[in-house]
Structure 1
Amino acid sequence: MTDAEGTQARGKVIAITGASSGIGRATALALAERGAAVVLGARRSERVEQLAAEIRERGGRAVGVPTDVRRREDLVRLLDTAVTEFGRLDVLVNNAGIGPISPLEDLRVDEWDDMIDVNLRGVLHGIAAALPIFRRQEAGHLVTVASTAAYRTVPGQAVYSATKTAVRTICEGLRQEVGDLRVTIVSPGFVHTDFVNAVTDPDARAELLARRDAMALDPTAIADAIAYAVAQPVQVDVNEIVVRPTEQR
């Protein structure tokens, strides 16, 4: 962390979805270390409360809010908590996402629906909850975690890639529409998280586990990219960051 990164992040109020593990947890710790107040949302309420307590024990400011991004009212409550507890909302990190990938011919329709609901509708619910607050403040920054799957799909990832491509398109459209607000897309490649645990297809899961153990990035690499975008001066809008393992093609 550079002195500039710490200075620009210090004092900001940042809400993070999917904060109980993986990239979300790493991002919460990285931003809290840089002096931001973090409001942590995740479905696993016990884990998100534990993370908030851990940050407070280290001298940071944090609060946990049980949040299911599939429910719009949960996003509203998460961001309202930021304003109530810390006086404002500077950044929303739309991070929550799932990836139970499988070949289309397996017809795992319920899993397709879950990916659409979390990966796509969840981002839209975050945008809908954040924009009124940002407009009232006349400032704000929306950071969305997409995926390198938004640029290239492979067999088994068609629906997952479609949700991430849609998210990337929505965020670019938002950037063009809002003008005075900042919009950033961070697209990770393979990261060592529990993402693989959601894959119910045994062959796909075994392949992903092998690739993860061989080359996946630590989540802190993505957290640092998010922190970099957040820490830029207000007139600088980092629109898109792609971070992948060197070995990933």
Structure 2
Amino acid sequence: MATKQPKVVLVTGASSGIGEAVAARLVREGHRVVAGARRIDRLKALADRCGDLLAPVRLDVTDRAGVEAFVRRARELHGRVDVLIGNAGVMPLSRLDSLLVDEWDRMIDVNVRGLLHGIAAALPVFTAQGGGHFVTIASIGAHQVVPTSAVYSGTKYAAWAITEGLRQECDPSIRVTTVSPGVVTSELAGSITDPGAAEAMRAYRATAIAPDAIAQAVSYALSQPDDVDVNEIVVRPARQR
């Protein structure tokens, strides 16, 4: 069903998992979505399924200039930007004594710097417009740490903290929401190279829920009246503790 007040929504990491589900759901609700990710072929396939309301744009969130161009492209297409959903993330879990420093750096670059690049690109636009909405997809890892999750949880706590700080600093016309998913079906676990972490994750993900559960939470936050700011939502499988 089309929404009565369609928005221009940017989604990062939209080529799979939560980002893909969020983009698809918001298009179904009548929003105009600009979907960004590195895998442009996946985005084009998503656009074929979603129709003219979805514009695919190649995006690497670790490239600050590329993120600025992503926001600029949305304004060129639609004249404004109403929502930025910072979803892009990686999760190569490992024990610290595995010393997979390159993977630690990648998580910091994507999960933290990528989020900051989005804020830096969109905040001046929202301020000039007199309104906007930031939605950060964090993780249950922002609220708990388990063996192998130290660096990942650190990046997701940083994402939570940055977004909460943004909420407190922003003019009330700019809404800010953090959504923290629990175990969700996605490709994230496929990036785990540490054998022990990969085995633990296979068992952990036995109770995973569908990405659309997170998309519904995002839709709920976006659908509220302008004077209602849904600050934080945690969504996890009923059986996850």
Q: Determine whether 1:7 maps to 2:3.
A: yes
- Measure the CA separation in 2 of the matches of 1:158 and 1:48: 31
8 Å CA contact 2:133, 2:176 repeated in 1: yes
- Measure the CA separation in 1 of the matches of 2:154 and 2:203: 24
TM-score by length of 2: 0.97
* 2:104 aligned residue: 112
* Structure 1 stretches of at least 4 aligned residues deviating more than 4 Å after TM superposition: none
Q: Determine whether 1:95 maps to 2:87.
A: yes
- Measure the CA separation in 1 of the matches of 2:48 and 2:116: 29
- Measure the CA separation in 2 of the matches of 1:140 and 1:33: 21
Which of 202, 222, 239 aligns to 2:195? It is 202
Quote how far apart the aligned CAs of 1:185 are: 0.1
What's the Cα RMSD here? Answer: 1.1
Gaps in structure 1 of 5+ consecutive residues = none
* Aligned partner of residue 3 in structure 2, secondary structure: helix
Quote how far apart the aligned CAs of 1:76 are: 0.9
Which of 41, 46, 55 aligns to 1:46? It is 41
* 2:127 aligned residue: 135
* 2:210 aligned residue: 218
Mean Cα deviation higher: 70-79 or 106-115: 70-79
8 Å CA contact 2:3, 2:31 repeated in 1: no
Gaps in structure 2 of 5+ consecutive residues = none
* 2:228 aligned residue: 236
- Measure the CA separation in 2 of the matches of 1:32 and 1:244: 24
- Measure the CA separation in 2 of the matches of 1:218 and 1:210: 17
Quote how far apart the aligned CAs of 1:132 are: 1.1
* 1:186 aligned residue: 179
- Measure the CA separation in 2 of the matches of 1:215 and 1:32: 28
Quote how far apart the aligned CAs of 1:46 are: 1.0
TM-score by length of 1: 0.94
- Measure the CA separation in 1 of the matches of 2:6 and 2:138: 26
Q: 1:127-179 deviations in whole A, cap 9, x for unaligned?
A: 00001111111110000000011111001000000001011111111101013
Which of 27, 50, 59 aligns to 1:32? It is 27
* Aligned partner of residue 144 in structure 1, secondary structure: strand
Q: 1:189-219 deviations in whole A, cap 9, x for unaligned?
A: 000101110000122112212332x200100
- Measure the CA separation in 1 of the matches of 2:203 and 2:161: 31
Which amino acid in structure 2 is aligned with residue 87 of structure 1?
Answer: G
Which amino acid in structure 2 is aligned with residue 69 of structure 1?
Answer: V
Q: How many residue pairs align between the two structures?
A: 240
* Aligned partner of residue 238 in structure 1, secondary structure: coil
Alignment of 1:154-165 (within 5 A): 154-165=146-157
- Measure the CA separation in 1 of the matches of 2:73 and 2:229: 26
